[in-house]
Amino acid sequence: MRTAESVIVRKSPGELEAMEEGGRITSSCLKMLSENVRAGVTTRELDRLAEEFIQDHGGKPEFKGYQGFPASICASPNAMIVHGIPGSYRLKDGDIISLDVGVRYRGFVTDSATTVAVGEVPEDAAGLLAVTRECFAEAAEQVRADNRLGDIGHAIQSVAEARGYGVVRDLVSHGVGRKMHEDPQIPNYGSPGTGPPLMPGMVFAIEPMITLGGYEIRMSEWDGWSIYTADGSLSAHYEHTVAVTEHGPRILTNGA
Ligand code: MG
Ligand code: MG
Give the pLDDT of the chain (256 residues) as one tens digit per residue: 445 445 899 999 999 999 999 999 999 999 999 999 999 999 999 999 999 999 999 999 999 999 999 999 999 999 999 999 999 999 999 999 999 999 999 999 999 999 999 999 999 999 999 999 999 999 999 999 989 999 999 999 999 999 999 999 999 999 999 999 999 999 999 999 999 999 999 999 999 999 999 999 999 999 999 999 999 999 999 999 999 999 999 999 997 5
Q: Is residue 45 part of a domain?
A: yes
Distance 193 CA to ligand 1 centre (A): 26
Q: Is residue 60 part of a domain?
A: yes
Question: Measured between alpha carbons, how far is residue 135 from residues 87, 109, 131, 233, 240 in Å?
Answer: 29, 23, 6, 18, 12
Which ligand number lies closest to the CA of residue 237?
A: 1
Look up residue 76 and give its amino acid. S
Look up residue 111 and give its amino acid. D
DSSP per-residue letters across 94-108: T-EEEEEEEEEETTE
**Contacts with 59 (C-beta within 8 Å, 6 or more apart), sequence order:** 22, 25, 26, 103, 104, 105
Distance 251 CA to ligand 2 centre (A): 14
CATH (domain of 60):
3.90.230.10
Q: Is residue 114 part of a domain?
A: yes
Distance 100 CA to ligand 1 centre (A): 5
Q: Is residue 157 part of a domain?
A: yes
Distance 228 CA to ligand 2 centre (A): 17
* Domain extent for 226: 5-251
Domains of the chain: total: 1
Task: Indicate the pTM of the whole model.
Answer: 0.96
Distance 196 CA to ligand 1 centre (A): 23
Distance 192 CA to ligand 2 centre (A): 22
